[in-house]
């Protein structure tokens, strides 16, 4: 793990996150407590009064207090339990380096999954708790519980989204602190899914709230109209100062012209007994509200919490005591509700489609950029510029990617140029050493040829002097010719050797980055190598033991000069491994193994240290200090891979080092 600056918070992660969640939940509960009576059209005097306690056992505010405490405590306990491993990591990270990789993986997994788990927990838990609280604290009607659950679900979605957003940064800090280079981040949620998870529920919540508010407004307008109509009928038909008989009241009431067939007329006595003149039975809520509160509300009646039934009443005097005559009407509009539901479903479907298309568009743009970066990482070398199709942050990212692509290609080209230059310098330096050895090697055949020329000159002079000499017979002439042939054969052998040396040196003098492909055998390869390394081996008093078990029928295809350069580098390194100790040997061998040609260069020196061995083929590194560049082995590895589709492996110990070159049979 890389060294990172430790995170220091004023408290543990679980305390911070639970406080954020609890604070957001508390604020939303307060908002709900204020708007529920308005949206659900609770009657005046029905909440936070003795009447409220009589109907629900406990007051409206107390119910919300209980609900809030249970939800907040549930969030806190769930958060503390879920984050206990993260708290443990955080406390230990303050005092020492936390190195348990398995535990860190667990922590990272939790930081990735917990935001979504909390999101679902905060959406579902408030509704479940509300159902339990309302069920235990009063005989609430199912319609009232359903409305509150729908409203609460909308705000629960808001709670989940806001909590997710406000806590994600803390999880991201922990993920940054526990990042291990090259590690799999694990749990994955695509950007498209994340947008759908966070944005679509918000749209649903907005649609639900809009529908509820719209329905509430339409209900208020309707109830005001109906109340005015029926209140006018009651005040015109009855005189509150007059004393009536029950029979008179019934007679007048039976003559009411009602707005709907479902409207009801009742007569309520002070002892809470009542008689229905029209319609079905009334609820106990209406009975109590009529007697206790209606007079304070100009005779206006409200049925139970969240029930869309209201009415108008008037208090009359009779010969047996006071009575209430009332008219109840349903302000529930099935048609309006159907339109609202259909509209909400239509808007939800449209929102889902639009969000899906939008998120897919963003995801597609980012995938294109990701693919481009992968191409850069894979060193494809192909410049692919992405089209800029939007004037926003995505467009800015595409422009930045294109700039990086251009810069990357320029840098790659520059690196290749510098690499070729370094390779060429190394080759020329090696060639310089080689030329010195070759010059020394050519002295012997040159002296031999010079001696042969002198011998031939003497024989030619002798032959010329013998012409016309009667003492020189035919046998003498044949002897002179025979001596000439001997000298010519010697000169021819030396010239052939020199030609082979020159050809080999010429091959090494060309640019090794060329792609000249020829057919050659292992015998030819070893011959070229031996010629070029002969002087360096003799100077170091090192013997090269050559063993070739590969038949001449096996043909290699490729640039033989490149392969000679590879063997020269490895043999030269082996010579230097002996550190000028004389009478040492190097084995150069070739054989067939698993349908591949195995070429081995083995020395018996002190070996290569492990810290260098692991990096030898990955970077330019050397054991020679300032005397080496590390380019030879690195270049050899690259050449075998690139030009011969082969491989190089290394075996080393304190008893020696062996480089094994594997070449495919068919190149």
Confirm whether pTM is higher than 0.85: no
What is the percent of the chain with per-residue pLDDT over 90, rounded to a whole number?
A: 4
| Whole-Å CA distances, 387 to 292, 359, 372, 393 | 74, 19, 12, 14
Count the Cβ atoms, other than its own, within 10 Å of residue 145. Answer: 16
Share of the chain above pLDDT 70, in %: 77
Residues 639, 420: Cα–Cα separation, whole Å: 12
Q: What is the CATH number of domain 515-667?
A: 3.30.565.10
pLDDT, tens digit, 9 for 90 and up, residues 478-522? 777 777 777 777 777 667 666 666 666 655 555 444 556 788 888
Domain boundaries, the chain: 13-186, 238-332, 379-509, 515-667
H-helix or E-strand spanning residue 621:
none
Residue pair 114/278 in contact (Cβ under 8 Å)? The answer is no
Cβ–Cβ under 8 Å, residues 617 and 659: no
The whole-angstrom separation of Cα 558 and Cα 556 is 7
Q: Does 588 score more than 90 pLDDT?
A: yes
Q: How far apart are CA 577 and CA 564, in angstroms?
A: 20
Closest CA to 75 of 181, 160, 191: 160
Of 22-31, 235-244, 269-278, 426-435, the one with minimum mean pLDDT is 426-435
Q: Of residues 426 and 87, which shows the higher confidence score?
A: 87
Residue 545, pLDDT score:
92
pLDDT of residue 625: 44
499-to-347, 428, 519 alpha-carbon distances in Å: 90, 21, 20
Bridge partners of 597, per DSSP, are 592, 663
Q: Name the CA dihedral angle for 478, 480, 483, 488, rounded to a multiple of 10 degrees.
A: -100
Encode pLDDT of 157-172 as tens digits.
877 788 788 787 788 7
Return d(Cα 285, Cα 528) in angstroms, integer: 111
Rounded CA separation 158/589 (Å):
76
In the predicted model, is pLDDT for residue 137 greater than 70? no
pLDDT score of 594: 85
Q: Is 373 a residue whose pLDDT tops 80? A: no
Sign of CA dihedral 42, 47, 49, 52: positive
Please say whether the beta carbons of 75 and 159 come within 8 A: no
d(CA 236, CA 379): 93
Instruction: Tell me what pLDDT residue 35 has.
Output: 81
Q: Which of 52-56, 463-467, 601-605, 662-666 has the lowest mean pLDDT?
A: 463-467
* Rounded-to-integer distance, Cα 551 and Cα 591, Å: 9
Contacts (Cβ under 8 Å, ≥6 apart) of 230: 259, 311, 312, 327, 329
Name the residue with higher pLDDT: 189 or 582: 582
For residue 628, the number of C-alpha atoms closer than 13 Å in the C-beta half-sphere is: 16
pLDDT number for residue 417: 65
Per-residue pLDDT, averaged over 414-431, amounts to: 60
């Amino acid at each position: 793990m890389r060294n990172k600056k430790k995170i220091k918070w004023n408290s543990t992660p679980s305390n911070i996150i639970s406080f954020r969640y609890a604070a957001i939940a508390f604020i939303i509960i307060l908002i709900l407590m204020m708007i529920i009576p308005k949206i659900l059209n609770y009657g005046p005097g029905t909440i936070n009064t003795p009447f409220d306690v009589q109907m629900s056992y406990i007051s409206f505010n107390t119910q919300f207090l209980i609900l809030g405490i249970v939800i907040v405590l549930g969030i806190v306990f769930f958060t503390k339990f879920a984050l206990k491993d993260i708290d443990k990591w955080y406390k230990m990270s303050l005092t020492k380096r936390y190195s348990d990789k398995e535990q860190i993986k667990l922590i990272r997994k939790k930081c990735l999954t917990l935001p979504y788990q909390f999101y679902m927990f905060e959406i579902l838990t408030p509704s479940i708790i509300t159902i339990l609280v309302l069920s235990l604290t009063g005989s609430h009607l199912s319609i009232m519980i359903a409305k509150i659950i729908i409203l609460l679900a909308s705000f629960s979605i808001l709670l989940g989204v806001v909590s997710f957003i406000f806590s994600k940064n803390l999880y991201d800090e922990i993920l940054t602190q526990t990042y291990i280079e090259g590690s799999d981040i694990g749990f994955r949620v695509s950007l498209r899914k994340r947008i759908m998870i966070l944005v679509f529920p918000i749209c649903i919540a907005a649609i639900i709230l809009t529908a509820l508010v719209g329905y509430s407004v339409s209900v208020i307008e309707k109830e005001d109209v109906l109340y005015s109509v029926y209140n006018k009928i009651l005040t015109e038909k009855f005189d509150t100062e007059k004393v009536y008989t029950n029979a008179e009241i019934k007679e007048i009431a039976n003559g009411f012209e009602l707005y709907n067939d479902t409207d009801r007329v009742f007569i309520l006595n002070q002892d809470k007994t009542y008689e229905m003149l029209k319609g079905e039975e009334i609820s106990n809520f209406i009975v109590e509200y009529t007697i206790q509160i209606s007079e304070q509300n100009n005779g206006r009646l409200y049925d139970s919490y969240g029930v869309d039934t209201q009415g108008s009443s008037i208090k009359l005097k009779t010969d047996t005591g006071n009575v209430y005559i009332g008219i109840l009407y349903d302000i529930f509009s099935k048609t309006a509700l159907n339109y609202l539901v259909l509209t909400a479903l239509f808007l939800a479907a449209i929102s889902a489609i639009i969000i899906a298309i939008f998120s897919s568009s963003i995801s597609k743009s980012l995938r294109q950029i990701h693919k481009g970066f992968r191409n850069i990482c894979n060193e494809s070398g192909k410049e692919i510029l992405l089209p800029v199709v939007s004037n926003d942050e995505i467009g800015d990212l595409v422009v930045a990617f294109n700039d990086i692509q251009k810069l990357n290609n320029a840098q790659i080209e520059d690196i290749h140029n510098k690499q070729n230059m370094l390779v060429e310098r190394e080759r020329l330096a090696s060639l310089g050493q080689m030329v010195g050895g070759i010059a020394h090697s050519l002295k012997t055949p040159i002296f031999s040829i010079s001696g042969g020329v002198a011998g031939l000159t003497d024989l030619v002079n002798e032959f010329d002097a013998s012409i016309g000499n009667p003492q020189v017979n035919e046998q003498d002439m044949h002897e002179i010719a025979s001596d000439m042939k001997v000298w010519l054969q010697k000169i021819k052998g030396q010239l052939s050797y020199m030609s082979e040396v020159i050809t080999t040196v010429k091959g090494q003098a060309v640019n090794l980055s060329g792609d000249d492909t020829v057919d050659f055998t292992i015998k030819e390869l070893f011959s070229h190598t031996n010629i070029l390394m002969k002087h360096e081996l003799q100077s170091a008093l090192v013997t090269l033991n050559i063993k070739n078990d590969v038949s001449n029928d096996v043909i290699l295809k490729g640039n033989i000069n490149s392969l000679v350069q590879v063997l020269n580098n490895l043999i030269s390194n082996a010579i230097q491994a002996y550190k000028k100790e004389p009478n040492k040997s190097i084995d150069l061998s070739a054989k067939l193994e698993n349908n591949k040609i195995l070429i081995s260069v083995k020395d018996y020196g002190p070996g290569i240290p492990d810290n260098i061995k692991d990096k030898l083929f990955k970077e330019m590194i050397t054991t020679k200090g300032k005397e080496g560049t590390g380019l030879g082995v690195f270049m050899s590895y690259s050449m075998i891979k690139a030009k011969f589709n082969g491989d190089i492996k290394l075996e080393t110990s304190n008893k020696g080092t062996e480089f094994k070159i594997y070449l495919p049979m068919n190149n």
